[in-house]
Amino acid sequence: MKLSKIILAGLYQALGLAAYCILITFIMNGVFGFFSRGFQGPDTYYFMVFLMLFIVSALITGSIALVYPIVLAVNKNFKGAGFVILSTVVWAILFIIIAFIVYLFVF
């Protein structure tokens, strides 16, 4: 695949994500206005930024956590790929527990 096609595919996907975020933003603002008579919902800009940040964060963390196991799986090392994913999950849970304990003692 040519570099220009890869760049265009990335552009189209990013535009699709942005369009999705804008659509969901308008829907969420409409729901806030409909259900809370007189309540002014959060600004549209904040919803859009939050959704884009959430999607970009999910893409980045998904890339960090899954690229190596996918490479292993493509090379027919399914057992190794499974263990890498399992190890990542266990370490993440351990870090969450440590962060919670630190939070309890600091605050």
pLDDT digits (tens, 9 = 90+) for 28-80: 777 666 555 555 556 677 777 788 888 988 998 888 888 899 998 999 989 88
96-102 mean pLDDT: 93
How many domains are there within the chain? 1
Task: Tell me which amino acid residue 48 is.
Answer: M
CA 33 to chain centre: 27
Average model confidence (pLDDT) across the chain: 82
For residues 28 and 41, is the Cβ–Cβ distance under 8 A?
A: yes
* Range of the structural domain that residue 64 is part of: 3-106
Interacting residues of 21 by C-beta distance below 8 A, sequence separation 6+: 47, 48, 51, 52, 55
For residues 24 and 47, is the Cβ–Cβ distance under 8 A?
A: yes
